[in-house]
Chains A and B, each alone.
Chain A
Amino acid sequence: MAGLLGIEELTRAEVEAILHRAKYFQPVQEQPLKKLDTLRGKMIVNLFFEASTRTRTSFEIAAKRLGADIVSITASGSSVSKGESLVDTLNTLAAMHPDAIVMRHSASGAPHFLARYLATPIVNAGDGTHEHPTQALLDALTILDRRHALEGLRVAIIGDIAHSRVARSNVHLLAKFGVDIVLCGPATLLPQELAQIAPGVSLTTDIREAITNADVIMMLRVQLERQHDPPLSAGEYFQFYGLRLEHMALAKPDAIVMHPGPINRGRELSSEVADFQRSVILNQVENGVAVRMAVLERIVGEHVNGSTAH
C-alpha cells in the first residue's frame, strides 16, 4: 500500500483488512501499558495545514503507541507562511526521509497532487471537501462495535453534505457494504449528483424522512468556514436540520447517534442528544486511535503486506 488517499479507491477487502486489524488494536487502548514496538525506528511527519485537534492528536497517539517517532507541523509555524509552494514544502520534508507523511489540507486533492511527485507514502487526514478516509474507517469500526455487520443497515447522514469530506468518505465506505445511505440537508448543501457517486445513496431535504428506520444517524458539523453564502440562519438551521431527542422515536429503537466532532450544541444537535445514552461520539474518538494504528502499521510496517489482516 503506497499510502491512503481516500476510501473510494480501496476495495472492500482492503477496508475489511484495516477494520480487522483496528479491532485487534482496540483493547490496547485500555491496557495499562499501551506502547507496542511494531514501528520502532520509523519516522512519521504529521503535517496539518488546517486547524485540527482530534485528528492530529489521534494520529500522534497512534504513531507513538506503535513505537514510531512522530513530528507534528502546523502550517502557521512553517515555511508555508514564507511563501514556499506546497510541492517545495513537501519535497523538503521528504528529503529528510520520513517513512510516511500524514497531511491535512484545505484544498481538495492536495495530497493526490503531491503523491504524483513524491515517493514518500501520504496518509490523507482530510483534504478540503473531498475525503477524510480515517474518519470513515473509525465510523465503520464504531458501528461494528454495536452491529454484527454493515450489510443491510440504514445510515442517515445529516447536515452540510456539500462541504463534508466526512460524508463523502462514509458514502464510499458504506456503499461497498451495500448499506442503505440517506443523505439529508438543506437543498443548497445537498448536491443531487451525490446520488450518482456510489450505489445505494438517496437524498432528502426532510430530516424526519431521513431518520425514519435509521440504524445510524450521523450528524455533520455546520462548516461555516467553507460556506460562502449560508442558506439558513443558525436558528432556522436548528429548527429544520438539528437533531433533537423527539426525532429518536422515528429511528430504530437501538439506533445510535454519531458526530465527527467538534460538536456545536444547539446548532446541529441538541445538548440532550449529545449526552444521550446512545450517542457514541466519544467512542468514535476512542476508535480513531485504533483505526489510525491499523492504517499506519499497514503503510509504514515492513512485514505487513496485507498478511496482518489474517
Chain B
Amino acid sequence: MAPLLIKNGHVIDPASGHDGVADVLIEDGRITAVAGHLDKEGAELFDAKGLVVAPGFIDMHVHLREPGIEHSETIETGARAAAAGGFTSICCMPNTLPVNDNATVTSYIIERARQYAVVNVFPIGAITKNSAGEELAALGSMKNAGVVAISDDGRPVMNACVMRRAMQMAKSFDLPVIDHCEDLNLSAGGDMHEGVQSTRLGLRGIPASSEDVMVARDILLAESAGARFHVAHISSRHSIHMVQFAKKRGLPVTCEATPHHFALTDSDITSYDSSYKMKPPLRSECDVAAVFEGITSGAVDAIATDHAPHPGSEKMQEFEKCPFGIIGLETALGLSLEKLYHSGKIGLRRLVELFTTGPARILNLDRGTLAAGAPGDVTIFDTELTWTYDVNRSFSKSKNTPFDGWQFQGGPVATIVGGSVVWRRETP
C-alpha cells in the first residue's frame, strides 16, 4: 500500500495539542509524521487545503443488527454508513440475535467485521446472559475475545444486586460498564418524554426521573465497586448534574450525548412521526440546555449516535406501536457542527475531542490521536460546506431519521482507515 500524504489541512489533534496547518503522513497503516511541510516519494496525495484534518472519529454507541437482524442493518452496511459520517471506528451494542453475551458471538462479529467492514468495529459485550438482567455473562472471556466494554443497552439491568456484581467483575477485568439508564417501571408504556407535549398529544410519558434514578443508583454502585461507569445517551438535566457531581468527586464516571438529544426537543414531535421516537426520548428545552451545558463544561465526554436502524415496515405504524430508535451515523457531524460549533458553544478542538480522545479514553483504545505510531485513522471535514441529507442515498439499510432533507453547514469530506481512503464525499 502506497503511503498517504494529507497536505495543507488544518490539523486538530487534541491529544497532542496540535492545532494549525500541517501535513500528515501515513505509512503502512500508521501515522508516521505530522509537520509543516512533508514530502514523500511515491505517496498518494490528498489536498486538504481549507479542510480540518482530525484523528479518526469514534462512535462508541451503534447498533449493527448482525448477527440475526440483518434486514435492518449488517456490519457491512453499518460500517459504510459510519464511513460516510466520518467515523473510522464504531462500537456495536450486544442486542443482536443471539445476544453478544459470550466469546463465540464476539469472535463472530470481529471476524465478520474484518471481512466486510470498511471501518474498525469494536464489540461491546452484554452484562448479563441474553441481557435478561439475571445471570452475569461471560465477561472475562468476552474481554479476551475483544469486547471493549459491557452493556445491556436497551434492556437495562433492573436488579441493583446484579448490577453491583457486574460492576465488581467489570472492575477486575478492567472493562467500563455502560448503562442505558432507564427504570423500566417508571417508563413502562411510555412513548415520549413526559411533559406538556406528551399531555397535549395524548401519548404516554416517559418521565425524566426514570433516567435519573438509574444514573443515581449506578453512580453509587460504581463508587462502591470501584468500577468505571459510563452513562449512555444522557438526556436529562438531573442526570447531567449527577455526572458533574461524580466527576467533581473524582469518580471514574463518564457519559455520552447523542446529536438528536441536543438538536431536537419533545416539542418537535408534532405529527406523530415515529422518526422522532427513541429512548431516551427527546426531552424538554431545559434538559437540552443542560446537555449543552454538559458539553461545554466537560461533564459530557463523548458524542455518540445510538445509530438504531429499523426497517420502514416497523416505523410506518401508529406512534405507540413503533420501535424506539433512529439512525444517526451520517448526520452526527453535521448536527454537531451546526448546534455546537456554528452556534458558538464550543470550539473545533473541543468538538474533535468529543469524537476522538473522549471515547478513546473511556474505552482504552489506542486511537483518537495523530501521534506518530498511532493507527492511520483520519477524519477530514469541512466546517462550511453546504449539503443536504437525503436518506434515500444513505448507506444504512434503514431510513428511520428525522433529519431527512435537512441542510447542513459543514460535514465530513473523507474518511481514512489504516491509511486507506474508505469514503470520500462526491463533489456536487
User: Which A residues are within 8 Å of any B CB, using their own CB?
Assistant: 8, 85-87, 105, 107-110, 112-113, 116, 127-131, 165, 168, 191, 193-194, 196-197, 228
Decide yes or no: A108 and B199 within 8 Å by CB, A85-B317, A113-B318, A128-B320 being known contacts.
no
Question: Would you list 13 pairs from A and B whose C-beta atoms are within 8 A, ordered by A residue?
Answer: A85-B313, A86-B317, A87-B317, A107-B319, A109-B201, A109-B203, A110-B272, A128-B202, A128-B203, A129-B204, A168-B200, A196-B196, A197-B196
**Is B247 close to A, CB under 8 A?**
no
| Residues of A contacting B188 in the complex (Cβ-Cβ under 8 angstroms) | 228
**Is B16 close to A, CB under 8 A?**
no
| B195→A130 contact, CB < 8 A | no
Q: Among the listed A105, A116, A194, which residue makes an inter-chain contact with B318, where contact means beta carbons less than 8 Å apart?
A: A105
A-B pair count, CB < 8 Å, reads 65
A108 to B273, CA, bound (A): 12
| B202→A110 contact, CB < 8 A | no
**Is B271 close to A, CB under 8 A?**
yes
The A-contacting residues of B in range 214-263, CB under 8 angstroms, are none
| A191→B199 contact, CB < 8 A | yes
**Is B361 close to A, CB under 8 A?**
no
User: Which B residues are within 8 Å of any A CB, using their own CB?
Assistant: 188-189, 195-196, 198-204, 271-273, 313, 316-321
Decide yes or no: A86 and B318 within 8 Å by CB, A109-B272, A196-B196, A228-B189 being known contacts.
yes
Query: Closest residue of chain B to A165, judged by CB?
Result: B202
Given contacts A108-B320, A109-B203, A128-B203, 7 further A-B contacts (CB under 8 A): A87-B316, A87-B317, A108-B201, A108-B203, A108-B272, A112-B271, A113-B317
| A107→B318 contact, CB < 8 A | yes
| B196→A110 contact, CB < 8 A | no
| A110→B199 contact, CB < 8 A | no
Q: Among the listed A85, A107, A112, A228, which residue makes an inter-chain contact with B320, where contact means beta carbons less than 8 Å apart?
A: A107
Query: Closest residue of chain A to B321, judged by CB?
Result: A107
Decide yes or no: A193 and B195 within 8 Å by CB, A112-B271, A112-B272, A113-B272 being known contacts.
yes
A179 to B328, CA, bound (A): 45
| Residues of A contacting B195 in the complex (Cβ-Cβ under 8 angstroms) | 193
| Residues of A contacting B202 in the complex (Cβ-Cβ under 8 angstroms) | 108-109, 127-131, 165, 168
| A85→B316 contact, CB < 8 A | yes
| Residues of B contacting A105 in the complex (Cβ-Cβ under 8 angstroms) | 318
| Residues of A contacting B189 in the complex (Cβ-Cβ under 8 angstroms) | 228
Closest chain B CB from A111 CB (angstroms): 9
Closest chain B CB from A286 CB (angstroms): 27
| Residues of B contacting A112 in the complex (Cβ-Cβ under 8 angstroms) | 271-272
Query: Closest residue of chain A to B195, judged by CB?
Result: A193
A191 to B199, CA, bound (A): 7
Decide yes or no: A193 and B320 within 8 Å by CB, A108-B201, A129-B202 being known contacts.
no
A8 to B318, CA, bound (A): 20
| Residues of B contacting A196 in the complex (Cβ-Cβ under 8 angstroms) | 196
Query: Closest residue of chain B to A116, judged by CB?
Result: B271
Q: Which 6 A-B pairs have the closest CB atoms?
A: A109-B272, A130-B202, A107-B318, A108-B202, A129-B202, A193-B199
Residue in B188, B195, B316 whose Cβ sees the most chain A Cβ within 10 Å: B316
| Residues of A contacting B200 in the complex (Cβ-Cβ under 8 angstroms) | 8, 168, 193, 197
Q: Among the listed A108, A130, A193, which residue makes an inter-chain contact with B196, where contact means beta carbons less than 8 Å apart?
A: A193
| Residues of B contacting A197 in the complex (Cβ-Cβ under 8 angstroms) | 196, 199-200
| Residues of B contacting A128 in the complex (Cβ-Cβ under 8 angstroms) | 202-203, 320
